[in-house]
Structure 1
Amino acid sequence: MSDNSALAGQKSDQKPDFPAGAPPPGLLALFLAFARMSLAGFGGVLVFARRAIVEQHRWMTADEFNETFALCHFLPGPNIVNLSMVFGSRLRGIAGGVAAFTGLLLPPTLIMMVLAIAYARFGELEVLRRILAGISCAAVGLLIAVVFRMMTPLLRRTDPLALILMLGVFLAIGVLRLPLQAVLLVAIPVSVGVTYFLRRKVTA
């Protein structure tokens, strides 16, 4: 995560283009934005992170978010934590990465400490178990919703090779239950090679 954060920090000097033409957010804005994401992120922060970054603040396009998340997905550790560091470092250097990272983790950490104490005392109650079961159903629904939103740019481009690669990885991991590391060792070079070939073909 540190190597990619450093790389992102180098890119931050170039001030990436924002779809709405707005200036890059400051450190406080990054902290507050990711704090709101974490506090609203029931069932997973990814749904709310994409909504805030792409739709609300327009700090990234849908394609840029997908590419950044794809990079973070192949790094060790929680994907959304990696995303906060890479995204914050891209805009405001290492300080921006730390601001986004702190905003993402500090509020839920404090809340979970309180909830852990409460669960240790009241966790055996049947009412609480039913509530947690209902929350898990909502979490699955939120995850499915964001997956379809992230698929939209690929579907709009109607790129058959990208769709075939996406379907192949899904079948390999989700259906055939092949080891994740083995699938990635094949999928990453193939996808990079296909993308390079297609872009070279377009520019030729």
Structure 2
Amino acid sequence: MNPPPRDAGPAAGPEAGALARPASPLALFIAFSVLALQGFGGVLAVAQRELVDRRGWLSRAEFIELYSIAQMLPGPNVVNLSLMIGDRYFGWRGALAAIGGMLLAPFLIVIALAASYERLAEFPAVAGALRGMGAVAAGLILAMAVKMLGTLRGNLLGPWLCALLGLAALVAIAVFRLPLAWIVIGLGLLGWGLARWRVAVLDARAAHGEEGR
């Protein structure tokens, strides 16, 4: 018997009760293979659509929570995400199935393209196609960000603090061109500190309210 999915915590939101689940590790492998084959220029936007909107394995709040953790871990973000989702449902078997689906097909395609790159690179149409894929990837990520904005209403920090942190990250990357590692560490620690402060404030208010009864 497959183990039940682990508790995603309070961030899962009210929609978590109606979530579906993969039928087997093979279903995870197939799903992440399909996901990986759609991810030209970036898998993140496709992952949100595939895992949240289409298959319903995660709520939007869960997706943001898991992806935030994946960003803080070493290695590719989406690979980390696939490991956590696979482990959530089937333990180590699910983790291996998910990461296998994420990496196997792209690995074979990259090997084949690398072997023929010298010939393909001579064609202007190939270079134009690659630039077009980059533009599409940027649009997909922007669309995913807009769709996920609604989850900030239930965030502990509230929409305004979340927006300020996001704006700070954008300015640090686009204007000051700071290394991504320093941005993740610096703003991540700042966000963690603000969240701890909010928890302390809410606990103090709750304690004060109980004393006033």
Q: TM-score, normalised by structure 2?
A: 0.79
Query: Alpha-carbon deviations, 1:151-174, whole Å to 9, x = none?
Result: 332267652222222222222233
- Find the aligned partners of 2:21 and 2:183 in 1 and give their Cα distance: 40
Distance 1:174 1:152, change over 3 A: farther
- The offset of 1:116, in angstroms, is 2.3
| Structure 2 match to 1:149 | 147
Q: Is the 8 A contact 1:16 1:91 kept in 2?
A: no
- Find the aligned partners of 1:16 and 1:26 in 2 and give their Cα distance: 19
| Structure 2 match to 1:8 | none
Letter in 2 for 1:110: L
Q: 1:159 aligns to what SS in structure 2? A: helix
Q: TM-score, normalised by structure 1?
A: 0.82
**Aligned pair 1:169/2:169, yes or no?**
yes
Identity of aligned residues (%): 36
| Structure 2 match to 1:58 | 56
Distance 1:172 1:93, change over 3 A: same
Which runs of structure 2 are paired with 1:51-90 in the superposition (5 Å)? 51-90=49-88
| Structure 1 match to 2:6 | 15
| Structure 2 match to 1:181 | 181
Q: Is the 8 A contact 1:19 1:58 kept in 2?
A: no
Q: Is the 8 A contact 1:25 1:91 kept in 2?
A: no
- Which of 118, 121, 125 in structure 2 is aligned with 1:120? 118
- Find the aligned partners of 1:175 and 1:110 in 2 and give their Cα distance: 37
Which runs of structure 2 are paired with 1:37-52 in the superposition (5 Å)? 37-52=35-50
- The offset of 1:132, in angstroms, is 2.1
| Structure with more relative contact order (C-alpha pairs < 8 Å, separation 6 or more) | 1
Q: Is the 8 A contact 2:61 2:151 kept in 1?
A: yes
Distance 1:108 1:161, change over 3 A: same
- The offset of 1:23, in angstroms, is 4.2
Query: Alpha-carbon deviations, 1:73-107, whole Å to 9, x = none?
Result: 12222111111111111221111111000001111
Distance 1:120 1:57, change over 3 A: same
The structure with more radius of gyration: 2
- The offset of 1:126, in angstroms, is 2.0
Distance 1:166 1:126, change over 3 A: closer
| Structure 2 match to 1:3 | none
Letter in 1 for 2:159: D
Distance 1:181 1:21, change over 3 A: closer
**Aligned pair 1:29/2:20, yes or no?**
no
Q: 1:124 aligns to what SS in structure 2? A: coil
Q: Which runs of 5+ in 2 are unaligned?
A: 9-15, 207-213
Following TM superposition, where does structure 1 have runs of at least 4 consecutive aligned residues deviating by more than 6 angstroms?
Answer: none
Distance 1:162 1:98, change over 3 A: same
| Structure 2 match to 1:7 | none
- Find the aligned partners of 1:122 and 1:14 in 2 and give their Cα distance: 46
- The offset of 1:108, in angstroms, is 1.6
Distance 1:118 1:183, change over 3 A: closer
Q: Which runs of 5+ in 1 are unaligned?
A: 1-11
Query: Alpha-carbon deviations, 1:22-60, whole Å to 9, x = none?
Result: 345420111111011011222321111111111112111
**Aligned pair 1:106/2:104, yes or no?**
yes
